[in-house]
Amino acid sequence: MYSLALIDTGYRFGGKNPEAGLDCSGMVSYVFAQAAGLKLQGSAADIARRGQPVPIAQLRPGDLVFFNTRNKPYSHVGIYIGEDRFAHAPSTGGKVRLDSLKKGWYAARLEEARTYFD
């Protein structure tokens, strides 16, 4: 729910809060701190090092999905919200939005999912 409340928040590289703007890892860090009291810090790649791998077919809302968007592993992260959709803060488009895991540009670049909950 917290990630949905951020839809249309402006993008800012290195952004860590909605008032100043968010990048992908900043959005994830902010949502996890607000919703679950978990501290996830650093880049998408740093966040990917934590948590447990989860098969894409077993994703649950709140799991994180990681993408290779710049020919670099774990260069982008989003929050799975259900129904094959994820919330994220892409630099292209300039705002937090929802996209599909099954079709489009991000579907072809999906690398892995991780869970941070039992």
* Dihedral sign (CA 42, 93, 31, 116): negative
The single residue of 29, 62, 88, 89 carrying the catalytic annotation is 88
- Whole-angstrom Cα distance, residue 18 to residue 92? 17
Task: Using 50 as the pLDDT threshold, list the residues of the chain that sit under it.
Answer: none
The pTM of the full predicted model, rounded to 2 decimals, is 0.96
Structure tokens at 87: 């919330």
Annotated active-site residue 76? The verdict is: yes
pLDDT at 59: 97
CATH number for the domain harbouring residue 29: 3.90.1720.10
What 3-state DSSP class applies to 65? strand
Annotated active-site residue 85? The verdict is: no
The total number of residues shown for the chain amounts to 118
- The answer to whether residues 11 and 27 touch, using CB atoms and an 8 Å cutoff, is no
Q: How many domains does the chain have?
A: 1
pLDDT at 92: 86
| Residue 100 domain boundaries | 2-115
The single residue of 11, 21, 22, 24 carrying the catalytic annotation is 24
pLDDT at 66: 98
